Chain A
Amino acid sequence: MIQLSISFLLTVIVVLLVVLFLFTIYILVQRHREIRFTEVRDTFLQKYSQHWYNYLINDEIFSIVLVPRGRAQVAAIEIIFSSYLKNIINEKVEHKIKEFSNLYLKEFYEKDLSSKRWSIRMNALYRIADFQIEALLDTCQQFEKTKISEGEYFQLLKIYSIFQPELFIEKIKESSINYSESEYRRLFVLLEDDVFIRLFEDFDSWTKNIQFAAIDTAAVKRNMQYIDQLKQLLTHEIPEIQIRALKGLYEIGVIDEIDPYVPFVTSDMWEVRLMVAKIFNHVPLNYSYTYLEQLLQDENWWVRSQAAKTIVENREGIAKLQQFMESSNDQYAIEMAQETVVRKQGNK
């Protein structure tokens, strides 16, 4: 038996070594091809970057030399386009990139979508969204019918949100996949205002992550249009939604009346009290001081700290805090006020 085992093990080792040897050869060949690919790509970049600049920025006439021949040149164009899209906001440039991609890159990505490799399909979906290749919308819808991963479906949603917002809303309604908040934010941020507002219309029918992401996106868009939507959520039964709505209103930064916020000063949840202390940043101190003084003596450290910060940000803030330190008996609150004043004076 042992004899057999030795020969068996030897065979296993030899077979494995041969496999590894072949794998080494494969890697070396692959490396060589990659080097060639990079060379072609870099040559194209070197040779035509200026042409691209002239075409995209200086409005020079389109030259046929810019049309890619082969994958390496497509990769070079991807680098050029991505850097323009990332670094400058210019509708004209975006339009030219879109036009070019729809004409000359479409076929490459169409082919990539039928690749067996997930990563290649994903990269193609990224590009379709980035370069706005609307000509592939039908292909994308066909692609959706095949067996695709959650990641691919997310990219499809992103593409729909750009080209067909109606379809997008329909798709997220029927989708059983629950994406993360940060993913939904990435989708919502791209939506036009009218489509986005529609998300709030059936607010309660959405899943928790969509609700949270919608509130946070409304805040980041800093649009006055969303203030009413967020204010309505202040009476929502779920505390987390109340907190997020308060946070959103704080971030938009336009507080036209103090009354809706006053009840939150005595909320049972410290997070709510913290947010209201933040919101008072956008309210003149003579209206908010009474409440802020109350919050400065809160049992929670974060609330006290925020109340002190909010007061000190105001022009009369330091004087108010000093006055408070003289009259108060609350040692914790005095310490907090003191630290905040010292900090503020130090910064000056």
Chain B
Amino acid sequence: MKVFLDFCMWFFGGFILVYMLFVIVSYCAMFVIAMLVMRKRYKLDPSEYDDAHTDAFYSKPVSLLVPAYNEEIGVVDTVYSLLNLRYPQTEIIIINDGSTDSTLQTVIEHFRMKPVDKIVRTHIPTKQVKQIYESEIYKNCILVDKENGGKADALNVGINVSQYPYFCSIDGDSILDEKSLLRVMKPIILSDGEVIAAGGNIRIANGAKMQLGSVTETHLPNNYLVIMQIIEYARAFLMGRIALSKYNLVLIISGAFSVFSKEWAVEAGGYSTNIIGEDMELVVNIHRLIRKKKEKKRIEFVPDPVCWTEAPQTLGVLRNQRRRWHQGLFESLWKHKTMTLNPKYGLIGMLSFPYFWLVECLGPLVELGGYIYIVVAFFLGKIYYEVAIILLLLFVIYGVIFSIASILFEAWILNTYPRPRELLRMILLAFTEIFWYRPLTLFWRCEGLIRFVLRRSDWGNMKRVGIGEKEKSV
């Protein structure tokens, strides 16, 4: 028995150590790439580009899709933030996905929506559209009332109704910076359409002051859980998105704010309605299509902070979110498992998929195993202490050091959190990450994996925190 236990401990200890080293090396590499990319832009005056491209002559029109399910409080603010956008040509399409609250009535009354007869071309099959409205105040603002079918179905209706060559999906509880669309369209415009989808950098809005849909001032919130998520977003941004984007390896661009070429999205079948992570699914499907058509197209991530979203403030809501995210990730990877290590899909198959499987998807299992190992080793006695200590030190590098580096680098490059006290508070909190936040999120993500294996999916349609929570915090 003891021999078996010894073998297990050495085997798992070794396995987890090698895995952690692998992850740390990959993160380091991505961090260095991100640093080089961002360093170049440091202090560059962005207004030159922004000013030139607010003219329709240099840009392309975009349809803004706002799916709304029971968003009676948040939807008006979201639409205002879209009306505030500095962009020459847009149409706003609000899709009421059979809300059971007064979302429809609120939008109709607030924007003086009037029913119109409009023939809709069905590029993608969807649930029944009940009525289309047009605003009497803002001519470019349309409301579509449809039967409930989930967020993906609502977005597909939006794509069908839209008239412009690009569409942008926006979560009903997001607030956009006025230049966000200009910035996110930049790679598309400058590449003459070689970039067919682009996603922006999402920031957390808790603690921000808002006025009619614009973020006027940011403060670090008091809630530790939210601060940890801010750190986490900075990490994901620097140790992942930028580097992956540089080599066209992006598999996820956040559904909270992303632009797609309508032609490509329609050809890829639009948003899938039977999957949790519909945004990732669309990106992967477009990558497949690019390979199939053998065209030189790219999907990019834009580092500019462009979209503000509300982070969960309670453990319960955060748990739900993380479980869902992870289940969605696993589901998408599993659905496209044949792409993994498949040379037919180029770097996406050979690098991106293995990375997402090993680091993003199965990582929590191994990491949680590492935590359990440390606890077990503590009880088993002396001989395992050393492995446990090494593991713990690796967790420190992985959790604490990387987090602090991300906070500092982001603060330096993007000039976020300008108050020194806020910066120091974040750094101090990052030291505690490995003791509470990390294990908790790992546990929830593993729950997501288990739920996928058990095929449990009881989240239904677009359950989000909503701006109702946001108003309380602001």
Contact of A2 among B45, B52, B119, B387 (CB under 8 A): B387
Number of interface residues of B (CB under 8 A): 43
A206 within 8 A of B: no
Q: Complex: how many Å from CA A126 to CA B44?
A: 10
Stretch from B405-413, B432-440, B455-463 at the A interface: B405-413
* Chain A contact residues, majority secondary structure: helix
Residues 246-264 of A contacting B (Cβ, < 8 Å): none
B390 within 8 A of A: yes
**Are the CB atoms of A189 and B57 closer together than 8 Å?**
yes
**Are the CB atoms of B43 and A120 closer together than 8 Å?**
yes
**Are the CB atoms of B119 and A23 closer together than 8 Å?**
no
Stretch from B186-194, B262-270, B291-299, B313-321 at the A interface: B186-194
A5 within 8 A of B: yes
A41 within 8 A of B: no
Stretch from B231-239, B240-248, B368-376, B396-404 at the A interface: B396-404
B130 within 8 A of A: no
Contacts of A186 in B (CB 8 A): 52, 58
**Are the CB atoms of B401 and A27 closer together than 8 Å?**
no
B40 within 8 A of A: yes
Contacts of B394 in A (CB 8 A): 9
Contact A119-B397, Cβ < 8 Å, known A23-B408, A27-B411: no
Q: Complex: how many Å from CA A9 to CA B42?
A: 32
Produce 1/0 per residue, A102-125, CB < 8 A to B: 000000000000000111101100
Contacts of B58 in A (CB 8 A): 182, 185-186
B59 within 8 A of A: yes
Least distance between B95 CB and chain A CB atoms (Å): 20
Q: Complex: how many Å from CA A301 to CA B116?
A: 19
**Are the CB atoms of A20 and B408 closer together than 8 Å?**
yes
A224 within 8 A of B: no
Number of interface residues of A (CB under 8 A): 44
Residues 111-149 of A contacting B (Cβ, < 8 Å): 117-120, 122-123, 126, 130
A17 within 8 A of B: yes
Least distance between B22 CB and chain A CB atoms (Å): 16
Produce 1/0 per residue, A20-36, CB < 8 A to B: 10011001101100000
Least distance between A187 CB and chain B CB atoms (Å): 11
**Are the CB atoms of B408 and A339 closer together than 8 Å?**
no
Contact A28-B192, Cβ < 8 Å, known A20-B401, A182-B59: no
Nearest neighbor of B396 in chain A, beta-carbon distance: A13
**Are the CB atoms of B408 and A27 closer together than 8 Å?**
yes
Contacts of B389 in A (CB 8 A): 6
Beyond known contacts A82-B47, A118-B44, A130-B48: 9 more, CB 8 A cutoff: A6-B390, A24-B423, A28-B423, A31-B418, A119-B40, A119-B43, A119-B45, A189-B57, A342-B117
5 pairs from A and B in contact (CB 8 Å cutoff): A5-B390, A9-B397, A185-B58, A335-B119, A343-B116
What 8 A-B pairs are tightest by C-beta distance, nearest first? A119-B44, A9-B393, A180-B192, A2-B386, A182-B58, A126-B48, A119-B43, A123-B45
